[in-house]
Structure 1
Amino acid sequence: MLLSEALGLKPNHLKEMECARGVYHVIHYSPPCPEPHLTLGSSKHSDPGFLTVLLQDHIGGLQVLHQDQWVDVCPIPGALVINIGDLLQLISNDKFKSVEHRVLASKIGPRISVASFFSTHISPSSKMYGPIEELLSAEYPPIYREITIKEFVTRYRSKGLDGQSTLIYFKV
């Protein structure tokens, strides 16, 4: 509701678009790494869905890319980290930006985090998603073309976590 309103849309707009129809959860378990300077826990990437809610433990390691600098997301007990995903960036026509992030390996551990991904791509359909019409104008033309979730998921899975956003494949 708040995201819809932040875009200047009616409160249920994103819900009616089925942006959170599917939810899946991933638990990450990373054992201690004896040589963390030689590896990453997870390489640079952005999440594919609409929104990610993350609960990280006290170990930390999550970093976000801000102004070409990696910034630690310090864990706060009981706090949730909220990431905008690629599909929300696409339908908001870049009004919201997906978050590039990575996870550093650590000598201490294990590191445990739980991520809840809000998306529709649990069962990819032929439904079309593109920039929301109400957000477009002569000054703000579409940046992305309309796509199906199936097309998006296929591209995301085929490219892997290569540090490059899936969105570049769908620009107008």
Structure 2
Amino acid sequence: MKDLAQKLLCIISENLSLPPSYIQEAVGEVFQNITISYYSPCPQPDLALGLQSHSDMGAITLLIQDDVGGLEVLKDGMWIPVPALRDGILVILADQTEIITNGRYKSSVHRAVVNAEHARLSVATFYDPSKSRKICTAPACE
């Protein structure tokens, strides 16, 4: 997963006409965190929220999930369900990548909602900059 995250950050760098390793070098030594989330079925899903709306603070998040939907992304003031990708990896760009790219790549605001009938399981791998790292906008993005 770390190799995939690094490759994706290289692609973003190249797309912005930056050296391939620019974003990787900007975030420095990454702090990798893995969170496993289990959402129980909820008989009244309209009265509960699995995970409140937020954007991820790091550079990039890779999400593996089962086939039960529940992830939603905020777009133009509306919550849009994200199709479940049982055999795929969902890429979520995070706040530090938005800062480095000066908003050319956006951090997504998202949330998890519960399901009335089915439990949901997801595994998120977060790639965050070192806590002591100073993050700045890339000169080519100013």
Structure 1: runs of 5 or more not aligned: 137-172
* C-alpha RMSD of matched pairs (Å): 1.4
Q: State the 1:83 CA deviation.
A: 0.7
How many residue pairs get aligned? The number is 133
Higher RCO (CA < 8 A, seq sep 6+):
2
Q: Pairwise mapping of residues 65-80 of structure 1 onto structure 2 (< 5 A)? A: 65-80=74-89
Calculate the TM-score normalised by the size of structure 1: 0.72
Q: What is the correspondence of 1:21-36 to structure 2 with a 5 Å cutoff? A: 21-36=30-45
Runs of 4+ in 1 over 3 A off after TM superposition: none
2:22 pairs with 13, 16, 22, which one? 13
Can you list the C-alpha shifts for 1:133-155, whole angstroms capped at 9, x where unaligned?
2322xxxxxxxxxxxxxxxxxxx
Q: Give SS of 1:17's match.
A: helix
Structure (1 or 2) with the larger CA radius of gyration: 1
Q: Of 95, 101, 105, which residue of structure 2 is paired with 1:96?
A: 105
Give the fraction of aligned pairs with identical amino acids, expressed as a percent: 32
CA pair 83-67 structure 1, distance change in 2 beyond 3 A: same
For the 8 Å contact 2:23–2:100, the answer to whether it is kept is no
Q: Distance in 2 between matches of 1:58 and 1:119?
A: 27
Q: Distance in 2 between matches of 1:11 and 1:56?
A: 29
Structure 2: gaps of 5 or more residues: 1-9
Deviations 1:5-55 (A, max 9, x none): 112101111122235622111000111112111011111111111101001
Report the TM-score, using the length of structure 2 for normalisation: 0.87
